[in-house]
Amino acid sequence: MSAISIVGAGGLGREVAWALEAAGQPIAGFLVEAGFADGWCAGLPVRSDPAAWAAAGRLVLAVGDGRARQRLAAALAGRLVAVVRHPGTSMGPRGTLGDGAMLSGPATVSV
């Protein structure tokens, strides 16, 4: 299983990292747009250089601002991981999560 890069290193990005870690998913680090600081966040590298974006395999979008998320989702179409699901969640037999969904625990999805 290849490591996942998280697009966005703010509060939502850290929540996604927590969910991925809890689910045993390997994380490559955070990717941020130019103008945001490189460095470390939650013990993971933060990279803004275009080469890091180009080299990233699987991505998950974790940007809280709606307009920025919409713009990045369009730019990254086809490269995003379908679902991030914390293992502390439960889902009924008829529940489904669509592409781009994130479910943090504890939470329940039922239909």
Q: What is the pLDDT of residue 43?
A: 93
25 neighbors 4 (Cβ within 8 angstroms): yes
Give pLDDT tens digits for 82-100.
678 888 889 889 988 877 7
Q: Cα separation of 47 and 24, whole Å?
A: 22
Give pLDDT tens digits for 6-62.
999 999 999 999 999 999 989 999 999 988 889 999 999 999 987 787 787 888 899
Q: Name the pTM for this structure.
A: 0.84
